[in-house]
Structures are given as structure tokens and as C-alpha cells.
Amino acid sequence: MPIPTQPFGRTGHESTRILFGAAALGGMRQEKADAVLEQLLEAGINHIDTAASYGDAELRIGPWMREHRKHFFLATKTGDREKAAARESLHRSLERLQVDAVDLIQLHNLVTDHDWEKALGPDGVLEALVEARDEGLVRFIGVTGHGTRVAAMHLRSLDRFSFDSVLFPYNYTMMAQPEYAADVEALISRCEEDSVALQTIKSVARRRWNGDETRRFSWYEPLLDPEPVRRAVHYVLAREGLFLNTSSDARLLPTTLAAAAEEPVAPPPEHLEADITRYEIQPLFTPGAHDSI
């Protein structure tokens, strides 16, 4: 069956529940990136999520936008916190993507108090993005983050500004942490009330790298076997309203797309617990010890 769509918050766009995480393109040559992007067209994926900091990802997407712009909701991110730098970053992204405007610009990884105060304060990045929206350079504004504090920080951000989307880690081991789960549930409830799009990341994460010399395509070690990947994807998609951003390891894209094309059924907890034991899955973020990328 085709990968289902649902409203991307209040934007008016029906996005596929799988959003393509373009970090996967960051280190690729154009011909390899073209082959990956062809998979999106074949699967009907209509939403690309990239960032200024994802290596050459915006450059790899750019040539595609000349022909396929109408097929995709296009999102990027800026990690800048000050107004002038953020405006420069946005214009650079538009040039690299070869577009006049993006659908969504996101404040990248806004989780620390210092960054929050600077980004949302006077002459901060938010001022630049609101002006860009008024000028027609962006249509919507979102906020993203990593770590166990992110859901609580997103709630704080939504109190300050009416963001159109949020992005945060969501998988079985992260949600097994009671404090994090409580914050996520509060965030989901708030976003459902206000029609804010809910993007999730790290669905197929196995653990942090343990020091081996395996070639790495993401900053964390992902699950690779198809069955646990399938269960991890279904864990997210079985919850109505969530979107799943694909891994920066492009090897997982076909398996993820195949799982998303099935009717999502929440895996029994005992199956997920068995995966944790067999594959030694660990939460990527834990309070205090491992709480950043």
C-alpha cells in the first residue's frame, strides 16, 4: 500500500508520515544522492528535511528542485542564534537549494537555556525568521532538538512563540525513561491542541558507538536487521499524529520505506524488550551522563 499521509500541523500540507532526513546526503556524490532521491519519488515521499549544517546535503538537493520542487514540502534549519547570522544562513540555504523560498525553516537544536535566551530574545534568530516569513522567503517556522530536556524546552518555546512544528527523539528506549516520557506526552498533548506538527527522530537508533572502527554513516549506531527496524518504525507510526524522519544512514531507507508501507501495528512490549536484549539497544540520551549529540 502507499505510504499514508496526514496533515502537517496547521500548514495545510498533507505530508507522508515518513519525512526524508537529508542528513543522509551530506557526504554523498551527486550521482549517489540522485539514486537516493529517486527512491523518494518511487515511494511517493513528499517531504524533505535538511539543514544548513548537513554537509553538502542542500547542494545535493538543489539540482532536484529545478524539476521536482512542486512534489516536495521542503524544510531546512539554521543553527545560528543571532539575527544577522541567521539571515545570512537562510539566504545561503536558498541559494544552495536553488529555490526562492522554503516551506519550513527550523531553529536547530534549541535546548540550552543560553541558546534559548539568545535565539528568542532581541536581535535573535527568531526575529530574522519572522521577517523572512513576512518577505515570503519561508512559509512556516519550527524548532528542533536532541537530548532529554528537549520536550520540556519545546513546551517553553511554544509558550514564547507559535511555532508550526517541533522535532524530538522518540523510540522505545527513550520513552522508557519516565521523566522524558512525561515531558513528551505533555508536548504531544499541547501540539495536538494547537495543531503543531510532531516530527520524531532516532526511531532506529541502537546505541552510541562503542569505539569500534566500523564505517559510520550517522553519529549513532543504528539497527540494521530488517525485523527490529520494522518494529522500531511501527512503534512510531502506530501512534497517530507522529511523523518519522528517516535515518542519516541511507542504507536503512529501503527497509524504512517498506515498513512504512505496511499497516502500522504497535509491537508488543515483549518483542521490543527482546530486541533490547538481543541487539543491546540503549537510549541515546540519559539525564546527566549522555544528554547531547
Q: Give domain limits for the chain.
A: 5-279
Region 2-19: what's the mean pLDDT?
97
Report the run of H or E that residue 222 belongs to, with start and end.
strand 220-222
Q: In the structure, what pLDDT confidence band is assigned to residue 213 with cuts at 50, 70 and 90? A: low
Tell me if 23 sits within 8 A of 36, measured CB to CB.
no
Length of the chain: 293
CATH 3.40.50.2300 corresponds to the domain 5-279: no
Interval 189-210: pLDDT, tens: 999 999 999 999 999 999 999 8
**Residue 18 in this model has a pLDDT that exceeds 80:** yes
Q: In the structure, what pLDDT confidence band is assigned to residue 216 with cuts at 50, 70 and 90? A: confident
92 to each of 58, 67, 118, 124, 125, how far by Cα in Å? 10, 20, 22, 18, 15
Is residue 155 exposed (0-12), middle (13-18) or buried (19+ Cβ within 10 Å)? middle
Single-letter amino acid code for the residue at 245: N
Instruction: Round the CA-based radius of gyration of the chain to a whole number and report it.
Output: 18
How much is the pTM?
A: 0.96
97 to each of 28, 62, 63, 140, 245, how far by Cα in Å? 16, 4, 8, 17, 19
Tell me if 17 sits within 8 A of 45, measured CB to CB.
no
Q: SS3 sequence, 146-157?
A: CCCCHHHHHHHH
**Residue 214 in this model has a pLDDT that exceeds 90:** no
Region 46-57: what's the mean pLDDT?
96
What proportion of the chain, given as a percentage, has pLDDT over 90?
A: 92
What's the DSSP call for residue 75? E
**Residue 280 in this model has a pLDDT that exceeds 70:** yes
**Residue 292 in this model has a pLDDT that exceeds 90:** no
Interval 105-163: pLDDT, tens: 999 999 999 999 999 999 999 999 999 999 999 999 999 999 999 999 999 999 999 99
| Strands, E assignment, 79-213 | 102-107, 138-144, 165-169, 197-201, 205-208
